Amino acid sequence: MDRYLQFAVIRFKSKTAYRFDYFLGILNSLLSFVVYYSIYKALYGDAQSIDGVSFSMVTTSFLISLGLSSAFHKNEMFLQDKIKQGTIANELLKPVNFKLRMLFEDAGEGAFNVVFNFLPTALIAAFFASISAPSGAVNMLLCIASVILGYIVLWQISFIVQCLSFRLFSVWGLVTIKNVVINILAGAYIPMWFMPEKIRSILRFTPFESIYFMPVQLYLGQLGQWEILFGFLRQIAWIGGLYIIGELCWRSGIKRLVIQGG
């Protein structure tokens, strides 16, 4: 385990080398927030709350989504680059689990993004936008747990798409399309409260709702015990299912590599 944590730590450290990029990253996040803030301020107009959702809940939801998208870092061209450069064979010879190593490198970068990009952004945003306070310590812990589960779901979907690089010339297009679909369905672009009811009733069974929206609801203290339990069980079931699919894709890819030569 130590060894995998090292991958995360190295990524974390290497990110601190470029300072100007770092400040720029905060500015980028902040401006993205300002865009959404301005849009929803205009949509709300003078209204205090719409469908029981107050404006500060919306801004809080966007801020959390922003934090999550920076935490959910994935280097989605990693596998393709290794295959293209033909270094995948060497990587596989190393005595580490390739998949775990990828996960921890990404997680390291995600952790960096949260601490050094999201937290400063959130502090600045709290100056001009009204942000709701967390609804309690237990909910906060549950929120963090659901973020971790959500990350594992997202990461596995990304891994499955990346495994297509064993077969395709480039996966950039598919990765991009996948991200658009997830961002819309998971409520990264639009708070789930305002999603048309028909779409929402379908989404209830997908893992998407609990990736961005469940942490928001937990943070705001909007969920009852049974909803929380259902949400967590749903995530765990999806993690199991995606793990099996991911393993199958990975193994068939490796087989192909062995047969055709790297």
Partner 1 sequence: MKDILSLFFAYARSGLKSRFQYKVDAVVVIFAVFFREAGGIIAMYLALQKFGSINGWSIDELLFLFSLIFITYGIFIVFFMALRDFSDWIKHGDFDRVLLRPRGVLTQLVLCGADWLAAFGHGTLGLVLLIISANRVGVEWNVQTVLYYLMCVIGGVLIQGAVFLTFSSITFYVLETNSLKEIFYWNMRKFAIYPLSIYNKFIQAILIFVVPFAFVNYFPAQFFLQKPDMAAYPAWFMFITPIVGIVLYLAAYAFWRFSLRFYKSTGN
Q: Does 31 sit near partner 1 (CB under 8 A)?
A: yes
CB of 169 to partner 1, least distance (A): 5
CB 129 within 8 A of CB 37: yes
Question: What is d(CA 141, CA 148) in angstroms, rounded to the nearest whole number?
Answer: 11
Selected binder of partner 1 within 89, 96, 140, 174 (CB under 8 A): 174
Phi, psi (degrees; rounded to nearest 5) at 206: -90, 165
Strand, coil or helix: 50: strand
- Binding residues for partner 1, rule CB under 8 A, total 35
Give me 30's structure tokens.
Answer: 């902040």
Selected binder of partner 1 within 2, 169, 240, 261 (CB under 8 A): 169
Selected binder of partner 1 within 183, 222, 239, 247 (CB under 8 A): 183
Phi, psi (degrees; rounded to nearest 5) at 142: -60, -40
Q: Which residues of 54-84 are buried (b: 16+ CB within 10 A; e: fewer)?
A: ebbbbbbbbbbbbbbbbbbbbebebbbebbe
Selected binder of partner 1 within 111, 145, 195, 228 (CB under 8 A): 195
Strand, coil or helix: 54: strand
Q: Does 35 sit near partner 1 (CB under 8 A)?
A: yes
Q: Does 196 sit near partner 1 (CB under 8 A)?
A: yes
For binding to partner 1 (CB under 8 A), which residues are involved?
Answer: 20-21, 24, 27-28, 31-32, 34-35, 38-39, 41-43, 50-51, 168-170, 172-174, 176-177, 179-181, 183-184, 189-190, 194-196, 199
